[in-house]
Each structure stands twice: as C-alpha cells, then as structure tokens.
C-alpha cells in the first residue's frame, strides 16, 4: 500500500508539474505577446504624438511662409506699377503691425532690398557697412528664386532668441522681401512634446543647431557635444520618421524622430523605464495573478487528490479485507478438508505451496500464481462428499472404495464452479487426477487437453502423496520419488512441468519438501481447581499428540511459560490470585500464544469482552469433551 501511495503521489506531483509548465508557458507566451503588442502600441502612440506636434510646428512655419507670399506678391505688384518707395515702405510698416496683431507677436518684422533700397517695416536703420545683398536672407532667396525660402536658423545675439527668416525673390530678380520669426511659439510647442507625461522633446536642424529644446539652456547649442550625442545625432539624421533605442547616461531610452521641411528634425527622448513602466507593472500583476491562480488550482487539486486518496485507501482497504476474507475462507475450507482426512493433514497447504513454486518457475504472473495457489488449496474440496471411514481406512482401499474416492474430483468441480468466479479453480479440482497419456479420471483427457492448472496441481499432488506418511506406508525416500516422477514424464505428468519438479527436487538437498510430523503440542491449563485440570487431562489422553500441563495459580503459570514452549493456554476466568482478564494481558506481554478462556460465566457481555481482547475461544464449564477437543484442535491447527 505504501508503494502504491508513493506512485500515486508521484503521479499527482508530476501532473501538477506539467500543469504548471503548461500554465507557465501559456502565461509567458501571453505576457510576451502582450508586452510586444503594448510596446508596439506605445511606439505607435509616440510616433503619432510626435507627428501631431510636428504638424503643429510645420503649420506654424507655413503660416509665416503664407504671410510672406502675400506680402511679396503685393510688393512685386507695386514695383511693377512704379509705386514710389515711400508708399512701399508704408505698406511694409502697416503689414508688420497688422500681422503682429493678427497672427503672432513672434512675427517680428517685414523688411527687404526693394527697388535698390533697404526698407524695414519696424523702422530699423542699418549701419553704413550693412550690405543687404550679403546677408543670409538675401543669399538664400537668390539661390532659390520664385518661392519662399526658410533661412538657416540663428541665435539673436542680443535676446538669445532663436530666429528664422523667410525670404522671397521678387520678379525683377534683384528685390527680396523677408520676414523674421522668433521661434518662441515653437519653443512652447517643443516643451509639450511628451508621451504619457514622460520624456522630453527638441528640434534640431541638419547642422546640429538646437532650434528648440525642453530644457531652455540647451537651445542654441550645436550637437553633438560628446560621443554619446554623436551616436544619437547620427541615427536621427539617418531616419526620416521612426524610432530607435540608445543608451543615454547609462539608461536605455527610445528616440522618436520626425523630419520636417528644410532639414529640421523634431525629436522626442523617453527613458524606457518610465516609458514602459505601466506595461511592466501590468505584466508583473498579470504574472502574480497567474501564480495565484496556479496556487489556487494546486490547493483545490491537492484537496481533491487527498479526498480521492482517502476514498481510494478505504476502497483498497475494503478490497484487501475482501481478498483476505476470501483467502481465510479458502484456507478454512482447505483446513476442513484436511481435518476430515487424518492421513493427509496439511496436504492441501503443501500442494498449494508446491504448485505456486512450479507456476513461479514457469514464468506465471503474480495474479496467475495467486489463482494457482488457491486452486491447490481447494483441489480436494470434493472429499467432503466421501465417507470418513473410506478416507481414514488404515489399509489399502478396495476397488469399490477407490471408486468412491474418485468422485471427489467431480464433486469438487460442482462445488467450486458456483462459489468462485475464476473457472480455473473448478477445473483444477476436476482434472488434477487426469494423466498425460489419457489414462486418468474422471474424463480420460490427455496431453494439453488437460487444463494447465490441473497439470500443475497433478504434479504437486503426486509429489506430496509420495513424500507424506499414509496409513499403509511411511514417506518414500527422495530418490524413489525422483525416479517415480522421471518414469511418469509424458505418461502421468506433463513432461515440462515434471522437469521443473525434478529441478526443485535436485535443489532440495536436505529433503525439506515433505510432510513435517508435528511434535507434541503443549497445552497449559491455568485453573485453581485441580479437579478441572485432571478432567481436561483425561479428555485429552485419547489424543497422544497433546500434552496437558497444569498450573493452579498464576505465579506457577508464569514460570512454566518462561521454561516451556506452550502452544495453547486454557485460562480460568475466576482465579483467586488474579482476575482472568488481567492474567490474559500479562500473558500477552510475555507471549503471543493463543488463549481459550475456561469459565462457568455464561454472560454474553463477558464473552464479548473476552473476544474483543483477542481470545481464541471461550468455553463454559462443565466441559463437553468432544467440543473441547475440537476447540483445541481448531485453534492449534488454524494458526
């Protein structure tokens, strides 16, 4: 049972291990998939957010272009129609004021080289060495005439404001109108470039000039300023739109970048720890929930497993009790058969032992061995139908008497076929006296037509018959038995089974496989009344195998138990020096010898108490001699 429990426990934990492995695999797969999709979503969200902010920046710059286009077209028209310079200047001044009020105060002024003169909408008068045609705004417009051009950003020396100029070459090929825009608005937009409240943004042109930055102190710097920035700037320049990962100050970051017109790069930098913090938190929570679910599953499964184990143990115990009960019934029946035939006492047990050893050497399974053992025990059950005077006749049987003996095979078959499910039991009883050459009884079967179980029992039965004392002879010598079995190969016995028995005989150097004549059995009677002891001795004097020893007090009884081998104790319940049940317990401390209570007390409660203690039997005075003999014989020979 312990080994079965270990196997059951091992199967349970193995199953739970694979369940855990499956759940862990599914959890890891789901969490990995979730993490990847979440990262992809965050990256997509970051790119979308950056694209939105980029669109705002581009829209703002485009608004400056649109303002300049309208102004440039008007000035060009005025030049072509010969409008005086004073009127063009007045127009520029009015337009500057209007755009600042209408659009943005960051639109700082409209100016230009127009009709051979420098005109400024905010009234700024350039120094004498100022040459408009050499300024960046003029050169940029001249390099790409016909459309508004964004001039390279620069830092205003006085205000430290990052400025851009939008310039447009007019149709005469010499005049240029330009608009200065302070990028304060773009700086405000840049400061809001974030995702989920984390990260920071900046705008950089192709030359590395920081046009706007979340950290105002970085505005106007030219990147890269170190190796770490150099790697980042190189990757930004290589990507129009997208993201990449890079280490900044020892921490993993994701860089989102989006390229605008004229080589501007809108960039968002996010620390991955903070960017994916919510994702990781969610994953950890999901993992913990998965572990909790597994623990709950394990607990419920374990509780169910323990309940099933308990039920299984109860079923197993019940099954074992039933098997043990069946075995005891079979043994009791075999004992009854042997008890009827005084010349074959113990025969059924020995035949069963020899038969199961033959079966084991033939390679039979444990289940088959058990069946053959029980078949051996019950092979002579049909002798119940044979008269005792025939079974116990001292001399040889007459022909008529032998015919009566033969009926035990058929009787045994009909008894067993209805009380035991396995047909092998009944077949063993019916055919164990068949001969391999067909000259046996009851049906004259031959060879392998005889059921194998009967062929095995036939060899074991014949061997025991030759190796035991009968009423008309002593046990045969081992060598004689060996020759008899050799002579019976192929005629009386299955040759293969006979060979196995011969091998068993060869291994039995000391001739142990035979009937052991029981030594005299010692019976200790403990009774304060000497007359009762004499009475039992008189009753048992007809049974020379029993020796009755008397003790009239418990002290003497204890000394006898220490010095003698006692096979049975007859114990009086009412003793002057000790109470009977107490005496029983003290004897149990010394020996496991079976005890029969002998008393005049016929109270059922007393009888019940005696049996609960473990008494082998309970006999009341005065003795019925034949019943006392049967009690003693039954207890001693059923041990």
Instruction: Report the range of poorest mean pLDDT among 45-49, 159-163, 219-223.
Output: 159-163
The architecture of the domain spanning 341-507 is Orthogonal Bundle (1.10)
Q: In angstroms, what CA-CA distances link 138 with 363, 475, 483?
A: 111, 140, 136
Nearest to 562 by CA among 595, 598, 524, 533: 524
Indicate if the pLDDT at residue 639 is higher than 60. no
pTM of the model: 0.49
Instruction: Report the range of poorest mean pLDDT among 308-322, 501-515, 562-576, 621-635.
Output: 308-322
Q: In angstroms, what CA-CA distances link 241 with 48, 54, 256, 259, 326?
A: 10, 11, 8, 6, 87
* CATH class of domain segment(s) 15-275: alpha beta
pLDDT in tens, 88-144: 999 999 988 887 766 566 778 899 999 999 999 988 899 989 999 999 999 999 998
CB 572 within 8 A of CB 526: yes
pLDDT in tens, 254-276: 999 999 877 889 999 999 888 88
Mean of the per-residue pLDDT values of the chain = 85
Instruction: Report the range of poorest mean pLDDT among 18-22, 134-138, 430-434.
Output: 18-22
Q: Report, as an integer, the average pLDDT of 402-409.
A: 84
Give residue 314's pLDDT band: very low, low, confident or very high (50, 70, 90).
confident
Helices and strands, counts by H and E, the chain: 20, 16
The torsion angle over the Cα atoms of residues 444, 448, 453 and 454, rounded to 10 degrees, is 20
Give residue limits of the domains in the chain.
15-275, 341-507, 521-637
What percent of the chain is modeled with pLDDT above 90? 31
pLDDT in tens, 392-401: 676 677 888 8
> In sequence order, which ranges of 467-552 are alpha helices (DSSP H)?
478-488, 495-507, 530-540
Nearest to 56 by CA among 203, 172, 195: 203
pLDDT of residue 518: 56
pLDDT of residue 230: 92
Phi-psi sector, 275: left (phi>0), alpha (psi -120 to 50), beta: alpha
Sheet holding 568-572, edge to edge: 546-551, 521-526, 568-572, 595-599, 617-620
Indicate if the pLDDT at residue 173 is higher than 70. yes
Indicate if the pLDDT at residue 340 is higher than 60. no
pLDDT of residue 421: 66
- Look at the domain 521-637 and name its fold: Rossmann fold (3.40.50)
Nearest to 282 by CA among 39, 31, 40, 24: 31
Q: In angstroms, what CA-CA distances link 40 with 120, 247, 268?
A: 52, 19, 16
Q: Report, as an integer, the average pLDDT of 608-637.
A: 84
Nearest to 257 by CA among 272, 231, 236: 236
pLDDT of residue 359: 94
**Helices 478-488 & 495-507 angle (0-180, nearest 10):** 160
Helix/strand/coil for 568: strand
Indicate if the pLDDT at residue 288 is higher than 90. no
Q: In angstroms, what CA-CA distances link 459 with 295, 338, 360, 422, 502?
A: 61, 19, 14, 21, 10
pLDDT of residue 337: 63
Give residue 456's pLDDT band: very low, low, confident or very high (50, 70, 90).
very high
Give residue 541's pLDDT band: very low, low, confident or very high (50, 70, 90).
confident
pLDDT of residue 326: 59
Instruction: Report the range of poorest mean pLDDT among 59-63, 154-158, 323-327.
Output: 323-327
pLDDT of residue 516: 65
How many CB atoms are located within 10 Å of the residue 99 CB?
Answer: 23
Q: Report, as an integer, the average pLDDT of 221-231.
A: 90
Indicate if the pLDDT at residue 414 is higher than 80. yes
pLDDT of residue 17: 81
pLDDT of residue 546: 87
pLDDT in tens, 457-502: 999 999 998 988 766 677 899 999 999 999 999 999 999 999 999 9
Residue 389 or residue 237, greater confidence: 237
Measure the CA angle with vertex 349, ends 343 and 354; round to 5°: 110
pLDDT of residue 623: 75
Indicate if the pLDDT at residue 290 is higher than 90. no
Q: Report, as an integer, the average pLDDT of 624-639.
A: 78
How many CB atoms are located within 10 Å of the residue 426 CB?
Answer: 23
Q: How far apart are CA 347 and CA 568, in angstroms?
A: 23
pLDDT of residue 270: 92
Residue 221 or residue 396, greater confidence: 221
Give residue 437's pLDDT band: very low, low, confident or very high (50, 70, 90).
very high
Q: Report, as an integer, the average pLDDT of 569-590.
A: 88
Indicate if the pLDDT at residue 324 is higher than 90. no
pLDDT of residue 622: 82
pLDDT in tens, 69-79: 999 999 999 99
């Amino acid at each position: 049972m312990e080994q079965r429990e270990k196997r059951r426990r091992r199967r349970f934990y193995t199953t739970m291990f694979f369940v855990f492995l499956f759940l862990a695999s599914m959890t890891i797969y789901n969490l990995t998939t979730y993490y990847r999709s979440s990262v992809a979503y965050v990256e997509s969200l970051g790119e979308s957010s950056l694209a939105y902010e980029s669109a705002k920046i581009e829209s703002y710059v485009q608004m400056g272009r649109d303002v300049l286009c309208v102004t440039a077209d008007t000035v060009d028209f005025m030049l072509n129609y010969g409008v005086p310079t004073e009127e063009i200047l007045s127009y520029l001044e009015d337009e500057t004021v209007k755009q600042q009020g209408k659009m943005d105060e960051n639109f700082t002024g409209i100016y230009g080289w127009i009709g051979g003169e420098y005109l400024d909408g905010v009234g700024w008068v350039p120094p004498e060495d100022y040459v408009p045609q050499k300024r960046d705004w003029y050169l940029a417009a001249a390099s790409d005439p016909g459309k508004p051009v964004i001039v390279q950003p620069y830092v205003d020396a006085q205000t430290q404001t990052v400025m851009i100029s939008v310039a447009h070459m007019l149709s005469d090929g010499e005049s240029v109108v330009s608009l200065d825009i302070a990028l304060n608005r773009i700086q405000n937009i840049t400061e809001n470039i974030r995702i989920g409240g984390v990260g920071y943004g900046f705008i950089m042109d192709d030359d590395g000039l920081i046009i706007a930055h979340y950290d105002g102190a970085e505005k106007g710097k030219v990147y890269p300023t170190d190796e770490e920035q150099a790697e980042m700037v190189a990757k930004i320049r290589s990507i129009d739109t997208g993201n990449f990962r890079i280490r900044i100050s020892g921490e993993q970051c994701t860089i989102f970048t989006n390229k605008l017109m004229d080589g501007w790069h809108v960039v968002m930098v996010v620390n991955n720890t903070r960017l994916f913090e919510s994702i990781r938190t969610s994953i950890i929570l999901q993992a913990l929930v998965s572990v909790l679910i597994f623990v709950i599953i394990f607990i419920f499964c374990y509780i169910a497993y323990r309940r099933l184990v308990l039920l299984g143990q109860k079923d197993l115990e019940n099954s074992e009790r039933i098997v043990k009960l069946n075995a005891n019934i079979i043994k009791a029946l075999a004992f009854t058969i042997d008890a009827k035939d005084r010349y074959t006492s113990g025969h059924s047990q020995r035949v069963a032992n020899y038969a199961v050893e033959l079966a084991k050497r033939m390679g039979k399974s444990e289940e088959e061995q058990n069946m053959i053992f029980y078949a051996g025990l019950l092979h002579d059950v049909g002798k119940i139908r044979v008269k005792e005077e025939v079974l116990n006749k001292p001399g040889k049987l007459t022909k008529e008497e032998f015919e009566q003996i033969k009926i035990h095979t058929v009787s045994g078959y009909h008894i067993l076929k209805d009380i035991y499910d396995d047909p092998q039991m009944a077949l063993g009883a019916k055919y164990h006296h068949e001969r391999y050459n067909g000259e046996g009884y009851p049906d004259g079967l031959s060879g392998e037509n005889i059921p194998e179980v009967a062929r095995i029992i036939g060899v074991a039965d014949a061997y025991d018959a030759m190796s035991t004392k009968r009423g008309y002879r002593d046990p045969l010598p081992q060598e004689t038995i060996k020759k008899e079995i050799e002579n019976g190969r192929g005629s009386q016995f299955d040759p293969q089974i006979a060979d196995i028995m011969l091998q068993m005989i060869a291994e039995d150097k000391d001739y142990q496989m035979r009937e052991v004549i029981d030594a005299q059995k010692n019976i200790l009677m403990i009774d304060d009344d000497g007359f009762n002891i004499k009475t039992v001795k008189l009753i048992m004097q007809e049974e020379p195998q029993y020796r009755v020893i008397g003790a009239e007090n418990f002290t003497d009884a204890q000394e006898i138990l220490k010095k003698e081998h006692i096979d049975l104790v007859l114990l009086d319940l009412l003793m002057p020096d000790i109470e009977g049940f107490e005496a029983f317990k003290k004897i149990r401390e010394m020996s496991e010898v079976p005890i029969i209570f002998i008393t005049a007390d016929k109270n059922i409660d007393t009888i019940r108490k005696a049996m609960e203690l473990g008494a082998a039997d309970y006999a009341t005075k005065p003795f019925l001699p034949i019943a006392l003999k049967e009690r003693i014989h039954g207890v001693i020979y059923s041990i």
